[in-house]
Amino acid sequence: MNLGAAKRLRKELLNLERPSTKTNRNDQDEDVIYLRPSSASSILRWTAKIRGPPDTPFAGGIYGLSIVCGSDYPLSPPTIKFDTSMSVGTINCTDKIFHPNIHFQSGEICLDILRREWSPAW
C-alpha cells in the first residue's frame, strides 16, 4: 500500500470523526447515515449509506455506496459504486438507483469529477 494514500485517508477519517468541524457533516447532515472504512484492516475500502433527498424520486430510499481508493490515491480518483447488496447494522441498502450518471448494472458513478476532472486538492 502506498503510504501517502493511507496517510491521506487516515486524515480524512479523523476529519469525519472530529465533532463540529466544517468537513464533518455526519452529525449535522441527516442525509449521510454512515461513512467509514469497510474494515479495520484496509483503509482503502470505504462504505457509505445515504438517504434519498426529500422531494425527489429518491426520497425515502436508503442507498449504499462502495468506495475503493487505489494505492495512488489521492492522485487518482476513487471508484464509487452504488451497492444494493450492502447491509451495515440494522439498515439494508436494497434500493436500486435509476439516474443517467449511474451505470444501471454496475452502479458505478459516471461523472467527470471522478475521472478527467479529478483533483487531489480539497
Residues recognised as catalytic: 110
Question: In degrees to the nearest 10, what's the CA dihedral of 32, 38, 39, 40?
Answer: -50
Interacting residues of 68 by C-beta distance below 8 A, sequence separation 6+: 44, 45, 46, 78, 79, 80
